[in-house]
Amino acid sequence: MSARLTIAALCLSGMVAVGAPPLSELVSKPAEAHTEHVFAAGEPGDPRKASRTIEIGMAEGPGSMTYSLDSIAVRRGEQIRFVLRNTGDLAHEFLLDSMENNAKHKSEMEQNPEMAHDEANGKRLEPKTSSEIAWRFTKAGEFEFACLIPGHYEAGMKGIIVVK
Ligand SMILES: [Cu+2]
C-alpha cells in the first residue's frame, strides 16, 4: 500500500468513527431512559428473604372502607411480605409510598379513576382476590399505604408504616 492510500484509508475510518456513534451507544441510550424507578418507601424486596409476613385485609363496612391494619412498625432494613386479601365486594388497592406521593397520585386518579396498578409498590385487587408485595424498608421515616380509588381514601382506606 502506498503512503497516500494509507492516509486516505485512515481518514475514511476516522470519518466513519466520528460520523456514526458506536452501536453500543445507540443501544444503551433507550435503556438509560428507563433508569430504575426510585421509590420513596424503600425498594422492592425478595419474598424468600422476608423476615415476616403481614396479612392485610381490605373490605367495606357500613359507611366505611378499611384495611384490617392501620399502623405497622418496621425496623429499617427489614423485608416484609405483605399478603393482601380483598374480601370486599369492590375493587381495592394497596399503594405503598410517601404521604406526599400518595396525595399527588390520588389527585391524578380523580382525573383518571380507571388507572390500574400492578407495580412493585402497588397492586389493584378485584373483589375476592389476593395478591402479594415483598418490600424492603431501606429508609427510616413514616410512609403510607392507601387505596386511591376515588372516595376510598376518604372512607378510611389508609394506614401508616413507621420505619425505625
Ligand atoms: Cu379501596
The CA–CA distances, whole Å, from 95 to 13, 31, 53, 147 equal 54, 26, 17, 6
| Domains identified in the chain and CATH numbers | 3-33 (no CATH), 43-163 (2.60.40.420)
* Alpha carbon of 125 to ligand 1 centroid (Å): 9
| pLDDT single digits (tens) 83-94 | 999 999 999 999
Coil, strand or helix at 57? strand
| pLDDT single digits (tens) 100-117 | 999 999 999 999 888 888
Verdict on whether the full-model pTM lies above 0.85 = no
DSSP state of 126: -
* Alpha carbon of 115 to ligand 1 centroid (Å): 13
